[in-house]
Chain A
Amino acid sequence: MQSQADLMPPSSASPSDPLLRVEGLHVSFRHPVDPPTEALRGIDLTIERGEMVGLVGESGAGKTTLARAIMGLVPQPGRIDAGTISFRGQVMADLGDDALRAIRGRNLAMVIPNPRSELNPVLTVGEQIGNVVRHHLGLGRSAARAAALDMLKAVSIPDPARRLDAYPHELSGGMAQRVVIAIALACSPAFVISDDATSGLDVTVQAQILDLLRTLIRAKDSSALFITRDIAITAHFCDRIVVLYAGEVVEVATVDTFFDRPTHPYSLMLLAAFSHSADLRRRWTVPPDETLPGAGEGCVFAPRCVRRQPRCTSEHPALRRLGDARAVRCHFPVGI
C-alpha cells in the first residue's frame, strides 16, 4: 500500500512555510450539564523544519490537548471551536479521515507516556512496530520484521532479536518506552511530538531515553515538540521554549534567552520552583487569590501573580513580540 501522504499534491506547501503552524486554536470540552470548559484559548505556535521546541506548563495547562489536537485526535468530549492547524502547508481540517491516518504515524508521530497500557497487550513488539511500517511504507511482512529489528537496535534495547517476539507485559517500563520511540520513529517522521514521554521512569533511565530520542530525531533531521512539566529537560533538548498557562501561550523564547532572562512572572515562578533557593521560590510564589475570577476580563495568571496590578484584573494582555523569536503575554513583564 502506497502511503497517501506522499501522493498528496504539495498544494499550498512551499519551502518557506513552517513545518507546523497553529493559529488561534480554541479547544473546549463540552459537558452534559455544566458550561463548556476552555482547554485552549487562542494558541499560536509555529515550528520550523529541524527545530526542537519545548512546551512547558503545569498539569491542566492544555499541553496534551494541544498535542492531540495537532494529531487530529482531540480527546472526547473536546472539540475545536476556532483556529487552524497546518502541517507542511496543508490545513489539517481540510483532510479526510483516510488522509489524516496516512499522515499520523508516518509524518506526524507521537511518543506517549505510560506505554505499558498503550501498547496492544496481545501483539508482540515486532508486530506492533511492523504494523506501522507495513501500513505507512507498504513493506511486506518479512521486510517489516527486519525494519522492526533495526528499530529495536536503534533504540538500544538489549537482546533485540529476542525482544521482537516479546509481549508488552514482558517488558520493563524503560524498555516499553524504547519500543514506543521505535514505533514513533520507524517511518522517519518529519515531526515528532513527545508527550511527557519519560514521566513514569526513574531519573537515570529518563536521561538515557531523552538522549536517545534527541539523537534519533537529529539523525533523521526531524522536528520535535517536547512536552514536559520538567523545565530543566527543555534546557538540554530544545532550541525554543513555549510556556503554556491555562490554555494560553504566555511566553515564547529561545532556550538561551529564556533561561538567561525570563520575562513572564509565571516563567519565573516555574524556574524558581526548580531552583534550590528557597528564597527565590518564596519571592516568586504567592498563594492564589481565590476571590479573583480565573479567566474572563483580566490576565489568566493574575490570581497567582506576585506582580499583580489593578490593570491585570481588568484587561486581558495580548501576546506581545519583544524582538526576534521572543514574545510575552504580560502587561508588566519582568526586566523590560
Chain B
Amino acid sequence: MALARYILRRLAFVLPQLVGILMVSFFLVKLIPGDPAVLMLGPNATPDAIDGLRRALGLDQSLIRQFAVYIGHVFHGDLGTSWQSTRPVVSDLIERFPATLELVTLGLSLALLIGIPLGIAAARAGRGPLRKIGEAYGLLAGAIPDFWLALVLIYVFYSTLHVAPAPLGRLDIALVAPPFVTGSLILDSLLAGDLQALGSALAHLVLPVATLGFINAGPILKMTQSTVGRILASDFIRYAEMCGLPRRVVMRQAIRAALPSIVTIVSVLYGFLIGGAVLVEIVFSWGGAGQYAVQGVLNADINPVLGFVVFSAIFSLIVYLCVDLAYFLLDPRTRG
C-alpha cells in the first residue's frame, strides 16, 4: 500500500519535470546559431522565400510563443517534422531509439558482468594483486576514449582477423530486417523465427557492445570496490564476524548492503549512455537515436533534437523511478 502511494506520488512529478526539461533544452537549442530556413532552402534562395518559410515555420514569432506552440504539440503526441528526413520525428525516433536502447542495454549488462565481480574481488583482496588489477582497470577504462577502443577493435577483429562483420550498421546489407515489432533486432528476429537475421544482428552487436562494456565497467568497478570495501570495514560486518557467521554469509551481507550504491551508478550510466553512446554509434554507423540527434544539432534541425530530449528524458525518468523502487525493496529504512 505504501508502495502504491509512493509510486503515485512519484508519477505526479513526472509531467512538471518533463516540461522543465523541455523548456531548458528548447531555449538552449534556440541559442545555437544558424537559421533553419536558410539551411533548408539552400544558398540560392531569395530573401522573400526565406521570409515566407520563416513565417510558415513560425520562426518570426517570439521565443515564448514558439515554445508554447511546441509544448501544445508535444502533448498531442506530435514532436514535429525533421526537415532532413522529411518524416515525423516520432516515427524516426520509434525506429532509432530501440537500436540505441538495445546497444546500451547489452553494453551496460556486459559492464556489470565485468565490473561487479572484479570490484568485489578487489575489495576483498585488501592490498593484494587483485586490488592492483582493479585500480589499473579503473584508470585505463577512465582514460581510454570509447571511440578509440571501438576503432582498435574494428582494426583487430574486422580489418586484420576478419572475424567481425563490417562496422556498417546493425544487420548484414544482404539481409532483410525482420518485421518491426519491438525495434530490437534480437527480439524481432526471434519473434519472426528468422535465425539468419538473429545471427547477423548478434554478430554486429559484438564489437560495439564490447566497447561500451569494457569502458563502462570502469566506473562500476570503482563504485563496487569502494562501496564493498567500506561496508566490509563497517560496524555491522565486524559484528557479523564476531558472531562467527561463515565467510560466505558475511560476504553476502556486505554485497547486499552495497547494492543500493551499485544500482545508483548503473541508473546514472544508463541514462547517460542513451546520448553518451553516440560516438560508438557513429563509428559503427549504428543509426541510433544519439546519431540522429547529433545530425539535428549540426543542421539546425531542432525537432529531432528536442524529440530526442523528450524520449531520453522519459526513459531516464522511468529508470529513476525503477531505482527508487529498488531502494524501497533493498533498504527497509526508506519505507518509513
Beta-carbon contact of A136 and B257 below 8 Å: no
In the complex, what distance in Å separates the CA atom of A102 from the CA atom of B249? 13
Beta-carbon contact of B253 and A104 below 8 Å: no
| B72-80, B170-178, B231-239, B263-271 - interface stretch | B231-239
Q: Which residues of chain B come closer than 8 Å to A109, judged between CB atoms? A: 243
Partner of A167, one of B236, B244, B253, B333: B333
Q: A121-B332, A122-B332, A167-B333 are in contact. Are A135 and B240 (CB under 8 A)?
A: no
| A111-137 with Cβ < 8 A to chain B | 112, 114, 117-124, 131-132, 135-136
Q: Nearest Cβ in chain A — how far from B105, in angstroms?
A: 28
A303 at the interface (CB under 8 A from B): no
The range of chain B's interface size is 20 to 34
In the complex, what distance in Å separates the CA atom of A169 from the CA atom of B334? 11
Q: Which residues of chain A come closer than 8 Å to B282, judged between CB atoms? A: none
Residue of A nearest to B234 (CB): A117
Judged by DSSP, the binding face of B is helix
A34 at the interface (CB under 8 A from B): no
A163 at the interface (CB under 8 A from B): no
In the complex, what distance in Å separates the CA atom of A124 from the CA atom of B333? 11
Beta-carbon contact of A118 and B235 below 8 Å: yes
Partner of B247, one of A97, A108, A119: A97
Beta-carbon contact of A105 and B245 below 8 Å: yes
| A154-205 with Cβ < 8 A to chain B | 167, 169, 183
Q: Which residues of chain A come closer than 8 Å to B246, judged between CB atoms? A: 98, 101, 135
Beta-carbon contact of B244 and A106 below 8 Å: yes
Beta-carbon contact of A104 and B332 below 8 Å: no
Beta-carbon contact of B239 and A121 below 8 Å: no
Q: Which residues of chain A come closer than 8 Å to B253, judged between CB atoms? A: 120, 123
Beta-carbon contact of A131 and B244 below 8 Å: no
In the complex, what distance in Å separates the CA atom of A117 from the CA atom of B235? 6
In the complex, what distance in Å separates the CA atom of A250 from the CA atom of B201? 78
Q: Which residues of chain A come closer than 8 Å to B249, judged between CB atoms? A: 131, 135
In the complex, what distance in Å separates the CA atom of A267 from the CA atom of B12? 67
Beta-carbon contact of B239 and A122 below 8 Å: no
B35 at the interface (CB under 8 A from A): no
In the complex, what distance in Å separates the CA atom of A120 from the CA atom of B239? 9
Beta-carbon contact of B331 and A122 below 8 Å: yes
Residue of B nearest to A131 (CB): B245
In the complex, what distance in Å separates the CA atom of A112 from the CA atom of B243? 11
Residue of A nearest to B233 (CB): A76
Q: Nearest Cβ in chain B — how far from A186, in angstroms?
A: 9
Q: Nearest Cβ in chain B — how far from A85, in angstroms?
A: 15
In the complex, what distance in Å separates the CA atom of A114 from the CA atom of B235? 10
Beta-carbon contact of A131 and B257 below 8 Å: no
How many A-B contacts if CB must be within 8 Å?
A: 69
In the complex, what distance in Å separates the CA atom of A112 from the CA atom of B333? 22
Cβ proximity bits B31-44 to A, threshold 8 Å, 1 near / 0 not: 00000000000000
In the complex, what distance in Å separates the CA atom of A308 from the CA atom of B235? 41
Q: Nearest Cβ in chain B — how far from A12, in angstroms?
A: 22
Beta-carbon contact of B331 and A121 below 8 Å: yes
A103 at the interface (CB under 8 A from B): yes
B256 at the interface (CB under 8 A from A): yes
B242 at the interface (CB under 8 A from A): yes
Beta-carbon contact of B238 and A122 below 8 Å: no
B317 at the interface (CB under 8 A from A): no
B29 at the interface (CB under 8 A from A): no
Beta-carbon contact of A101 and B244 below 8 Å: yes
Residue of A nearest to B331 (CB): A122
Q: Nearest Cβ in chain B — how far from A102, in angstroms?
A: 6
Q: Nearest Cβ in chain A — how far from B250, in angstroms?
A: 9
Q: Nearest Cβ in chain A — how far from B229, in angstroms?
A: 13
Q: Nearest Cβ in chain A — how far from B67, in angstroms?
A: 46
Q: Which residues of chain B come closer than 8 Å to A105, judged between CB atoms? A: 242-245
Beta-carbon contact of B332 and A169 below 8 Å: yes
Q: Which residues of chain A come closer than 8 Å to B194, judged between CB atoms? A: none
Q: Nearest Cβ in chain B — how far from A320, in angstroms?
A: 35
Partner of B242, one of A112, A122, A123, A135: A112
Beta-carbon contact of B236 and A103 below 8 Å: no
In the complex, what distance in Å separates the CA atom of A131 from the CA atom of B257? 16
| B318-336 with Cβ < 8 A to chain A | 330-333
Q: Nearest Cβ in chain A — how far from B79, in angstroms?
A: 43
Q: A120-B253, A122-B330, A169-B333 are in contact. Are A102 and B244 (CB under 8 A)?
A: yes
15 contacts between A and B (CB under 8 A): A73-B242, A97-B247, A100-B244, A104-B241, A104-B242, A105-B244, A109-B243, A110-B242, A121-B236, A122-B330, A124-B332, A131-B243, A131-B249, A136-B244, A183-B243
Given contacts A98-B246, A183-B243, 9 further A-B contacts (CB under 8 A): A73-B242, A101-B244, A105-B244, A108-B244, A110-B242, A120-B253, A121-B236, A122-B330, A167-B333
The 7 A-B pairs at the shortest CB distance, nearest first, are namely: A104-B244, A105-B244, A105-B243, A118-B239, A167-B332, A101-B244, A118-B235
